[in-house]
Structure 1
């Protein structure tokens, strides 16, 4: 009898999360045929269909819901075991200064620091929230050991020569924050076309931090307000004064009165990459912090943050 594998469970979780085989394949870095094979193998092992094919993507069957629920628990326990074993075999100690831009500080960095301190409780972590140029200056001067920054469309070409870059790859993409009373709030996703006539709450920055405006492909977007901080943006959205472009990494910390809805889009107009940056010879705590950032972001592909 065929058994369910960890790879199969991971693929089933991602298909359920993404809502389609093609989106799951892109998020996991697999081919669509590989995703289909893993789902088919899991269906043989569990004795029946795990997904219903619909006009737009798929959704889990009753059996699929059961497997997804238990699979999430399996990966949580495996992650906990990995952290506990790491703590037994590698007792790091020392002081670490970790920096990040505001979006990363909203959720990714706190969760990664919690993961780091669970594995290495003797490490003392100090955080520095600042713009990317400020982080890079501090890193080169030895006042910062790990800088979290983003590169991509609409961002400056930062000077990164001589530094060590590790990609921090998550799986939630880009969405919009809308008020609970907004027509988008009850939907599982929206298209770029749906965004055409919306009023936008955009980010304002003068310090080089990555911020989010309206969807970049829209002709003449209607900007309602431009404010710097996420609390102000979410407050304006909650009041029904517009919608805001929000990365999936921030979706987990959206306040009450606001909903996050993914945007279905193709192309690379909003493709950005998050990096954990260190000097060429990072300290052991810095290396552990980079690993925690990567592991935390990767975990969102199989078990999105709540």
Structure 2
């Protein structure tokens, strides 16, 4: 099959004729003579090998082929315009300061890796990473003190007032169980929820609005052996074999050497989500940070995909 190879100007001429309804209207929009537009349409017909207009005493009427080609042309020209903008942006280094907020577990892996990617790709962009609960981040977003915020959501968390904010769901969100490498379930990769019955749990305790991690959420009357607010200390309890704890896949890449994580098959299911929020249009520096957050979240989630 022959590949269609035409200059974008021919596609623009086609769209202009269809949108204005006449060659005259298209010529006025494009700044060409009527003769030049007619020649562009003729050249496009030669390149495609199909008739795009029925010509008569009352002018030219578009064929079905013209409408089908025009639908594709809109997509092609949009992609070319996007590529042109991206090339211009690449030629002009992005610079500026961006305030990015995140809750504690987001700060364990996603936050640092985002900052590292931005430093590598956009060295003139400075990121001020602020660790705070979701309610605090929402206030800071609306006050203009944050450009972007990593928000926690899902089961067990309040329904936040997100009016006026733009949210982008990030990949990931799977809940895991952390346990000592000496534990009998270590190394299994995936365990049924029934295997967790009777286990002791080291649970978290943080500020309101932060996701709390501890016992597996669907277990009835779990046995709590310790309540520890600090993540490092909590994982120390787990490493010593004193109990298990839950943690999001978002943070699993920084477990201590003597702690591992397993996935849980639970028919009841349980999901936590992370979203990237903003309160308005992003400038170049903030857009670069947004792209880095999404890329790193995808990389983290990829590890835990089946």
TM-score by length of 1: 0.67
Q: For residues 265 and 163 of structure 2, what CA distance do their matches in structure 1 show?
A: 35
CA 1:267–1:277 in 2, change beyond 3 Å: closer, same or farther? same
Q: 1:32 — aligned with what?
A: none
**TM-score, length of structure 2 as denominator length:** 0.67
Distance in 2 of aligned mates of 1:259 and 1:186:
8
Q: Which 4+ residue blocks in structure 1 deviate beyond 3 angstroms?
A: 85-90, 300-305
1:75-109, Cα deviation, whole Å (9 max, x unpaired): xxxxxxxxxx8984452101111110000000011
In structure 1, how many angstroms separate the alpha carbons of the residues matched to 2:255 and 2:193? 21
Determine if contact 1:167/1:294 at 8 Å carries over to the other structure. Answer: no
Q: Secondary structure at the match of 1:185?
A: coil
Give the Cα separation in 1 of the matches to 2:94 and 2:304. 28
Over aligned residue pairs, what C-alpha RMSD do you find?
2.2
Counterpart check, 1:275 vs 2:275: yes
Q: Which has the larger radius of gyration?
A: 2
How many residue pairs match? The answer is 220
Q: Which residue of 2 aligns with 1:201?
A: 202
1:22-62 deviation line (CA, Å, top 9, x unaligned): xxxxxxxxxxxxxxxxxxxxxxxxxxxxxxxxxxxxxxxxx
Instruction: Name the counterpart of 1:231.
Output: 232
The DSSP-based 3-state class of the residue aligned with 2:277 is strand
Q: What is the aligned partner in structure 2 of residue 4 from structure 1?
A: none
Q: Cα distance 1:209–1:304, how it changes in 2: closer, same or farther (>3 A)? A: same
- Aligned equivalent of 2:133, options 114, 131, 134: 131
Q: 1:143 to 1:197 in 2, by over 3 A?
A: same
Asked if 2 retains the 8 angstrom alpha-carbon contact of 1:166 and 1:290, the reply is no
Taking the aligned partners of 1:228 and 1:147, their CA distance within structure 2 comes to 22
* Corresponding position of 2:296: 296
Q: Which sections of structure 1, spanning at least 5 residues, go unmatched?
A: 1-84
Structure 2 gaps of 5+ residues are 1-86
Decide whether the 8 Å contact of 2:249 with 2:301 is kept in 1. Answer: no
CA offsets per residue over residues 197-256 of structure 1, 9 Å max, x none? 110011112332112131111111001111111101101101111000011121110012
CA shift for structure 1 position 295: 1.4
Contact 2:133 2:207 in 1 (8 A): no
Aligned mate of 1:144, from 127, 143, 146: 146
Q: Is the 8 A contact 1:278 1:286 kept in 2?
A: no
Is the 2:218–2:268 contact (alpha carbons within 8 Å) kept by the matching residues of 1?
Answer: no
For residue 170 of structure 2, what is the aligned residue in structure 1?
168
Q: How does 1:107-126 map to 2 (within 5 A)?
A: 107-126=109-128
How far the C-alpha of 1:263 sits from its partner, in A, is 1.5
Shift of 1:182: 0.7
The one of 92, 104, 107 equivalent to 2:106 is 104
Give a deviation string over 1:161-219, Cα, whole Å, max 9, x none: 00111111137x22111112110112121111111111001111233211213111111
After superposition, give the CA deviation of every residue in 1:117-142 in whole Å (9 maximum; x if it has no partner).
22211001111011111111111111
What SS does the corresponding residue of 1:183 show, helix, strand or coil?
coil
Please list the CA deviations of residues 55-74 of structure 1 after superposition, one character each: whole Å capped at 9, or x if unmatched: xxxxxxxxxxxxxxxxxxxx
